[in-house]
Amino acid sequence: MDIYETDTDLVVRVEIAGMDEKDFSIELKNRQLLITGFRQEVPERRAYHRMEIRFGEFSISIELPASIETDQVLAVYGDGFLKVTMPKSQPRQILISD
């Protein structure tokens, strides 16, 4: 997983190969990003010599280092990677009324 920041966005990039978009979900609550899913095991019997691709449920929880604009979050899944782009909240000037 990669987490990086640009001038305007916070970006989370997760390798989730071999899955469909319907197999995982993304939730954002306050400054907590949660990615959960279920990777189906292949139904055929196999004798593994080495196994690094895990099957079953998974959960990734990330504490975000900045406040973000939740209504502008964009998630894209392709080529085995999920990329979640979250615009950072910008300070707002508050006008003082008379």
- What CATH number should be reported for the domain holding residue 40? 2.60.40.790
**Lookup: tokens for 62:** 């990330």
What's the Rg (C-alpha) of the chain?
18
What's residue 90's pLDDT?
82
Alpha helices in 1-98 (DSSP H): none
Whole-number pLDDT of residue 88: 93
Between 18 and 72, the higher pLDDT residue: 72
> Measured between alpha carbons, how far is 19 from 81 in angstroms, rounded to an integer?
10
Q: Which domain holds residue 28?
A: 2-87
Question: What is the structure's pLDDT at 54?
Answer: 79
Whether 13 contacts 2, CB under 8 Å: yes
H or E element: which one contains 27? strand 24-29
Residue 93, domain member (yes or no): no
Residue in 81, 62, 60, 77 with CA at minimum distance from that of residue 10: 62
Residue 17 lies in a domain: yes
User: Is there a domain that residue 71 lies in?
Assistant: yes
Q: What percent of the chain has a predicted confidence (pLDDT) above 70?
A: 100
pLDDT at 57: 92
Q: How many domains does the chain have?
A: 1
Mean pLDDT of the chain: 89
How much is the pTM?
A: 0.80
